[in-house]
Chain A
Amino acid sequence: MREAPGSVAKTSARYSDSRVADSLDDSLETAGLAPQPAPLKRIAHCSMEELRQRRCIIRWFDEVRDEIAAMLVDGNVILRSSVCPHFGGDFEFRATEAILECKWHGWKFDARTGECRNHTIGTKLRTYQFEIVDGMIFVKCE
């Protein structure tokens, strides 16, 4: 019986001699059993129904240690970090302008691009991958 990729990775990690482990990994790769990156976890954020009604739902997720805003902009779902990169403030969503505005210092971010609109800074709001299954929005994370 074939082992799952994850269990193969654990087996190779038990070898204390890295050369042995490397050669084992090489042969496993040839056999199509190379260690695979861990699959992304899925965390339920909110339902599409709820998002349609509220346009923006902001929730803290201990799993990713971040606050994530789910927004509905021009009919598209967008997920971004809701922690202002300035000093860590929280946002208010302005649906008509598709802007996240920091409640602490008024920094405004474009919900579509994540870029700051009223200051020139070298960073933008982190985006999160997601999938919609049976009307629920799931954040995909490491």
Chain B
Amino acid sequence: MKIIERVVVKEVAVSASVAEWNFWDFEHGQFVHKGHVEHWVLYEDSTTAVIISTMKVPVLSFLKYSSLHVMVRINERLSRAWNRGLLGVIAASNYQFESIGRDQTRITITYRFYLQGWRILLAPILYRQISQWSDRIWEEDLPLKLRRQRVMRLGFKDFTGLPDSPADRHNDADIPLKLPLPKLKSSPVMRFIK
């Protein structure tokens, strides 16, 4: 078996809980990320989620494949994910959310790919692709994080919106994150949950 590893470090002007919210929001994938077709939650609780994703095959985008993700919130600032994706490649990722100031977060993502048999041949391509893929996801997610931070600092409440009076639109308190994120039964990601 060959293991390839890459570490990506990013800093962003949002609180750690907002950065983490983006990680645990499965519903945005199909609307925000290129190549994502659908995500279905099979199971979730306050620390764990099991997801099936349907994605487009890179380059041959008319073809689709499914991948299985298991995500665990180890603690407030560390989440881990394991997935089996395209061509049966198994990956494990760590997501560390470190507060480096008020509404400033450093995110350290460690990607590890476990390659077996003929998949070892994919190592050089995967190594190059990881950072490109990670950068693209980051760019697509960044506007969500920044706007979410802005509205949360204005006292936004999920499923309700901003406070009625402009005078009440401020919030200096810590921004909480409670898992699982609330979802409507009609959400596309809830289609197969039992």
Q: Point out residues on A near B: beta carbons under 8 Å.
A: 63-66, 81, 83-90, 102-106, 118-123, 126, 141-142
Q: Are A85 and B160 in contact (CB under 8 A)?
A: yes
Contact, CB under 8 Å: A66 / B156 = no
Let me know if B162 is at the binding interface, CB within 8 A.
yes
A-B contacts, CB under 8 A, total: 71
Contact of B154 (CB < 8 Å), options: A65, A89, A122, A126? A65
The one of A66, A86, A141 that contacts B159, using a Cβ cutoff of 8 Å: A86
Give chain B residues whose Cβ lies under 8 Å from the Cβ of A142.
165-167
Decide if B44 is an interface residue (CB 8 Å cutoff): no
Are A88 and B186 within 8 A (Cβ)? no
What residues make up the interface of B, taking CB atoms closer than 8 Å to A? 25, 27-28, 30-32, 143-144, 147-148, 150-152, 154, 156, 158-162, 164-167, 169-170, 184, 186-188
Is the CB–CB distance between B28 and A64 below 8 Å?
no
Q: Are B167 and A123 neighbours in the complex by a CB distance under 8 Å?
A: no
The listed residue (B144, B151, B159, B166) touching A64 by CB distance below 8 A is B166
With contacts A65-B154, A83-B156, A88-B152 known, is A104 near B162, CB below 8 A? no
**CB-contact partner of B144 in A81, A89, A141, under 8 A:** A89
Shortest Cβ gap from A11 to chain B (Å): 23
Task: Tell me whether A83 and B169 are in contact in the complex, defined as CB-CB below 8 angstroms, given that A90-B147, A103-B32, A118-B186 are known contacts.
Answer: no
Q: B161–A81 contact, CB under 8 A?
A: yes
Out of A63, A83, A90, name the residue touching B161 (CB < 8 Å): A83
A-B contact pairs, 15 of them (CB 8 A): A64-B169, A65-B154, A65-B162, A66-B162, A66-B169, A84-B161, A86-B158, A87-B158, A102-B31, A104-B32, A105-B187, A106-B30, A123-B160, A142-B165, A142-B167
